[in-house]
Amino acid sequence: MTTPATRSTTGPTPSPASIPDLTGARILITGPTSQVALPVVAQLAQNNDVHGLARFQKKEARDQIEALGAKTLAVDLASGDFRDVPQDFDYVLHFAVVKTGDFDYDLRANAEGVGLLMAHCREARAFLHCSTAGVYHDADNHPLKETDPLGDNHRVMMPTYSLCKISAESVVRTSARLFDLPTTIARFSVPYGDNGGWPWYHLMMMNAGAPIPVHNDGPSLYNLIHEDDYTNMIPSMLANASVPATTLNWGGSEATSIEEWCQYLGELTGLEPKLSPTENTLRGIQLDPALMHERVGRTEVAWKDGIRRMVEARNPELLKVD
């Protein structure tokens, strides 16, 4: 396998030769049971030696990951105890996130934990840190670039989330330089797919007749990204890993809004979305995907196609009969 080249955030697109062929690699994936990482485990475990790291407090969660062909490692990131974790991974995909609302614990798990993990896996060829669009200051009504201001935009719903993610990015950047570990920081938008996601929760709310909060300053724009797209983009994300770390937005090439996808869910199912404008919810966070397009490529699954596939996979009984 080819070691990813060292590149800056504004450097040229990695050459095809620098994109790793993820076959026969040893890969560590944190947060493997999450809605985001589970499809990644399912795909990569087919042709690689994949290890999933989580607390695994429930046996069925561990069984689920092992049934996909991956090995499991029971570790609490907040403890920093990686004695039972191998150190010879080729790649580390860090999807784990802790959001208990306890600042002390969440900072230990999210910020200190990732630094200690990078120290333990410092010999890896590349480290992918899945951050979030939730690190941006959300007051500007324009697509947000990687160089735009950061802010505490998730406090209204998850008080520790944005601050812990910003802290984690700082630790990741420091660790990449300290351990000379090529790293990509990917600011993830809204994931969805056959295994669910935010649009699916809205579908369930529509089916129950529950109100769906949207911000008064709508439309609430996001960059929905389908599980097929983000899973297929991982090799290119790894190819962008560098020292200092590369930071990239990671979301769908086409922005849409809660209002639009709920309306479309209504068209598919005949259910009525009861939108409830309020100040007490997230504002839209639209990403500028230009740098992602240059360095990684465009997404391929159009959001309407992905939404329809999601309903067909999870709740076909709700689809209108043509």
Dihedral of CA atoms 306, 307, 309, 315 in degrees, nearest 10, equals: 160
Q: Could you write out the three-class secondary structure of 63-102?
A: HHHHHCCCEEEECCCCCCCCCCCCCCCCEEEECCCCCCCC
- Calculated CA dihedral for residues 144, 195, 74, 234, nearest 10 degrees: -50
Can you give the residue ranges of every domain in the chain?
23-191+225-250, 196-222+254-285+301-318
Identical fold between 23-191+225-250 and 196-222+254-285+301-318 = no
pLDDT classification of 6: cutoffs 50, 70, 90: very low
Residue-wise pLDDT for 47-87, tens only, equals 999 999 999 999 999 999 999 999 999 999 999 999 999 99
Which residues, 6 or more positions from 273, have their beta carbon under 8 angstroms from its beta carbon? Answer: 202, 206, 212, 262, 263, 265, 266
Superfamily designation of domain 23-191+225-250: NAD(P)-binding Rossmann-like Domain (3.40.50.720)
Q: Mean pLDDT across the stretch 96-107? A: 94
| Mean of all residue pLDDT scores within the chain | 93
The confidence band for 10, taking pLDDT boundaries of 50, 70 and 90, is very low
Answer for the pair 41, 52: CB distance below 8 angstroms, yes or no: yes
Q: Which of 24-33, 102-111, 255-264, 313-322 is least confident?
A: 313-322
pLDDT tens across 223-252, in order? 999 999 999 999 999 999 999 999 999 999
Percent of the chain with pLDDT over 90: 88
Q: Residue 17 — pLDDT band, cuts 50, 70, 90?
A: low
Residue 280 one-letter amino acid: N
Helix, strand or coil for residue 192? strand
Fold classification of 196-222+254-285+301-318 is UDP-galactose 4-epimerase; domain 1 (3.90.25)
